[in-house]
């Protein structure tokens, strides 16, 4: 597969905002996001169907796909940023014109439910996508300086991204020794496992597996990690990056932080694959943007992760 890097963002470029999943509870955050980008010198175009509701979705499937297609058709738009996550992105995968995206490559950003689009776009087109901050969730809600700094470094700079650094010099954890190199593939654990058996499930051969999650009890995390095990994903990858597993504790009875850790250890401790845990990525205010499809090194022996190329050209 030919890898396609989108062009870097420059001041004066137009950023497109769309809602491929759910609609924000507070639409004023979209307005705040618009002001944020404009104050930095970017133009903003809002998708025609932004603000619509169809149950828990931001409009019908057709309306949400229309906004995706419109943004990729529009030559003036250089980046497409999702407004929020929520639900419903996987419903769009068989309705998207991937040829259109391949012919008009540009930055596409989102995380959580948007993992479905990031993975499908990369698999079907080779376009590097971005598990990163969203308009209402982050840019319209007092974006954290760490999140902000790394996002702009990654989408507006042709230089090698280099080592991932946690905020406040927070340390990574290693669960096994060794080192490996490959393309970062993954994102939200529950969304990733929901794609298994479909044409949109990625090829993990020689990849670096990325996982993060929120609001799933340990037994559900266990079930999903086992699902990936039964798919032989762990035997195919060259390394693993675990982001934050937020609010993934036992809800019934007393909270037991060890329960999630026990699940993680069951699957990954001393498994012979280099693994770094506690990367500041996922459903956290301090969210490191991770491009899907870029080459990276995981060195568990020396406890670092390095992205060895740029994500844009």
Catalytic residue among 22, 112, 280, 310: 112
Catalytic residue among 89, 213, 283, 310: 283
Contact between 255 and 268 (Cβ < 8 Å)? no
3-class SS at 144? coil
Q: Which helix (H) or strand (E) holds 176?
A: strand 173-176
Cα dihedral value 93, 247, 187, 75, nearest 10: 60
| CA dist., res. 191 & res. 297, Å (int) | 24
Query: 112 catalytic, yes or no?
Result: yes
Strands 304-307 and 295-299 come out as antiparallel
Strands 107-110 and 290-292 come out as unpaired
Catalytic residue among 212, 213, 280, 281: 212
- Count CB-CB contacts under 10 A for residue 169: 6
Write 197-205 long-range contacts (CB < 8 A, 24+): 198/93, 200/93, 200/116, 200/119, 200/120, 200/123, 200/124, 201/119, 201/123, 202/119, 202/122, 202/123, 203/123, 204/233, 204/236, 204/237, 205/236
Written as six digits, the tokens of 83 are: 């407004």
Query: 283 catalytic, yes or no?
Result: yes
Q: Which residues have a catalytic role annotated?
A: 112, 212, 283
């Amino acid at each position: 597969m030919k890898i396609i890097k989108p062009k870097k963002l420059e001041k004066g470029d137009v950023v497109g905002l769309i809602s491929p999943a759910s609609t924000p509870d507070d639409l004023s955050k979209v307005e705040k996001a618009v002001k944020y980008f404009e104050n930095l010198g970017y133009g903003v175009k809002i998708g025609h169907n932004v603000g619509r509701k169809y149950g828990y979705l931001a409009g019908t499937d057709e309306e949400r796909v229309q906004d995706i297609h419109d943004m990729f058709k529009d030559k003036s738009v250089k980046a497409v940023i999702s407004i929020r996550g929520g639900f419903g992105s996987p419903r769009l995968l068989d309705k998207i014109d991937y040829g259109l995206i391949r012919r008009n490559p540009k930055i596409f950003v989102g995380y959580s439910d948007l993992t479905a689009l990031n993975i499908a776009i990369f698999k079907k087109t080779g376009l590097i996508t971005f598990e990163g901050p969203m308009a209402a969730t982050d840019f319209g809600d007092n974006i954290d300086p760490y999140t902000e700094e790394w996002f702009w470094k990654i989408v507006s700079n042709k230089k090698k991204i280099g080592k991932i650094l946690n905020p406040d010099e927070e340390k990574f954890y290693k669960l096994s020794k060794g080192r490996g190199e490959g393309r970062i593939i993954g994102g939200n654990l529950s969304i990733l496992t929901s794609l298994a058996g479909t044409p949109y499930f990625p090829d993990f051969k020689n990849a670096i597996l990325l996982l993060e999650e929120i609001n799933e009890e340990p037994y559900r995390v266990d079930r999903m990690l086992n699902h990936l095990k039964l798919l032989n994903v762990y035997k195919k990858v060259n390394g693993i990056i675990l982001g934050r597993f937020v609010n993934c504790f036992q809800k019934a009875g007393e909270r037991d932080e060890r329960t999630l850790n026990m699940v993680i250890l069951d699957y990954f401790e001393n498994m012979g694959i280099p693994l770094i845990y506690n990367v500041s990525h996922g459903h956290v205010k301090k969210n490191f943007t991770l491009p899907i499809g870029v080459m990276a090194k995981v060195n568990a022996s020396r406890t670092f992760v390095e992205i060895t190329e740029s994500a844009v050209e």
